[in-house]
A = this chain, B = another copy of it.
Amino acid sequence: MPLFLDSRAAGFDRSFTEFLGAKRESSADVDGIVADIIADVAHRGDEAVIELTERFDNLKLTPQTMAFSQGEIDTAVKTVPKEERAALELAAERIRAYHERQLPEDARWTDDTGAELGWRWSAVDAAGLYVPGGLASYPSSVLMNAIPAAVAGVERLVICAPTPNGAVNPLVLCAARLAGVETIYRIGGAQAVAALAYGTNTIAKVDKITGPGNAYVAAAKRRVFGRVGIDMIAGPSEILVIADKDNNPDWIAVDMLSQAEHDESAQAILITDDPDFGEAVARAIDKRLETLERAAIAGPSWRDNGAVITVRDMEEAIELSDRIAPEHLEIACAGAEDVAGRIRHAGAIFIGQWTPEAIGDYVGGPNHVLPTARSARFSSGLSVLDFMKRTTLARMTPAALRAIGPAAETLAISESLEAHGLSVRARLDALNEGED
């Protein structure tokens, strides 16, 4: 049974804190295995990747078949039904339009000493997108990872997608093509991350690796972080819905199930100011679970990790929501816009009853790669900025150096960094001589 909490009940704060601290993911320690895989790929390259792919994905590759050929992609893309292709195209177009607005601006100005200051943004040269195989192989994730990279201006974009037993989802290839990705490797797991980070004879190394994955992929990303950039370590999905009684309980129920059906470790939470409404949603969830295709996943998720929290008022809902720092936050209550404006920690907010979270998974425009496990406290969803970096610029004139150089020299001396001071002093002395 999901957890029912009432903020007016004795011991609520302790129960809520315990609920917040509960760990949903199985903490299988795969770090040692992953370290060995990475070392193996770093040393033996293609050979290791091929062996590991045979072992883990039951697929025998050669350097020649590691990537899909353009012909193979063509063939797969042709099997995609027209309606699905059109839906992918609409999604791609809307995601592109949203992310194009994220392109950051360069800046350059002259301050009152005459110093020119500024910064300039540029794209990374190459990015590798990880696309999980099997059940969690989502074409929408291909769009959400590849389009921001393309908008950023990344020149070389590749995808790694495992194809266990050789099975491939044609929509993944179709989404890759729509996003402009030409190179798709049939490899996955820690070996794919290692190949992208270290490079092999066949796979050129990249500068940034993004995309979700299982525990092995997550551990591998953590290990190669620093050698390459990574996006984040993704955990199971979460949704928090803040709703008052003026909602259809069934709509809220399916919204919550749309996260619960991802994974048994996923979490759906309802915060409401009306206990009767909370119970109505719980009943509606039970009813939907009777027929839901993925009830075997959504059911345990709801029962083990779900929660209905009754609060005194929306003030309290905002406060609890910020403590949860949810990945997805749906706000369906009177004054939803005002409530949304006061939330500080959330990956994505869906405002009003006409905005089911699933819209954001596919066609809304914002990214669906979002911070999980309370990391919205300090991190953001994937964006164009993840594929760019900023170079700061400074240009002194003799006058600017005269104005601020002596302070730099003073601080250098106080930090016992003589050469730092000398590099300023040598120029100031030349300027002073020039004046004589």
Contact B359 A404 (CB under 8 A): yes
Contact B222 A418 (CB under 8 A): no
Contact B390 A422 (CB under 8 A): no
A424 contacts B by Cβ under 8 Å: yes
Contact A87 B390 (CB under 8 A): no
Query: Distance (Å) between the CB of A358 and the closest chain B CB?
Result: 4
Contact B381 A258 (CB under 8 A): no
Write the chain B residue with the least CB distance to A385. Answer: B385
**Alpha-carbon distance A251/B419, docked complex (angstroms):** 10
Binding-face segment, A39-47, A90-98, A178-186: A90-98
A349 contacts B by Cβ under 8 Å: yes
Which of B139, B358, B377, B423 is within 8 Å of A423, CB to CB?
Answer: B358
Contact B415 A358 (CB under 8 A): no
Contact A294 B101 (CB under 8 A): no
Write the chain B residue with the least CB distance to A104. Answer: B104
Which of B261, B359, B380 is within 8 Å of A418, CB to CB?
Answer: B261
Contact A423 B378 (CB under 8 A): no
**Alpha-carbon distance A86/B115, docked complex (angstroms):** 20
Contact A98 B117 (CB under 8 A): yes
Contact B226 A171 (CB under 8 A): no
Top 5 A-B residue pairs of the complex, sorted by shortest distance between their CB atoms: A229-B378, A366-B392, A257-B419, A356-B423, A87-B407
- A residues engaging B (CB < 8 A)? 83-84, 86-88, 90-91, 94, 97-98, 101, 107, 109, 111, 115-117, 119-120, 122, 124-125, 135, 138-140, 171, 207-208, 222, 225-226, 228-229, 232-233, 248, 250-251, 254-255, 257-258, 260-262, 288, 292-294, 298, 337, 340-341, 343-367, 370-371, 373, 375-381, 383, 385, 389-398, 400-401, 404-408, 410-412, 414-424, 426-427, 430
Could you name 30 residue pairs across A and B whose Cβ atoms are closer than 8 Å?
Answer: A87-B411, A87-B414, A90-B404, A94-B111, A101-B109, A111-B365, A122-B345, A135-B416, A229-B375, A248-B430, A250-B426, A254-B419, A255-B423, A288-B419, A288-B422, A293-B416, A294-B417, A294-B418, A343-B391, A353-B427, A354-B397, A354-B398, A358-B417, A359-B404, A362-B407, A362-B411, A364-B396, A366-B394, A380-B390, A383-B390
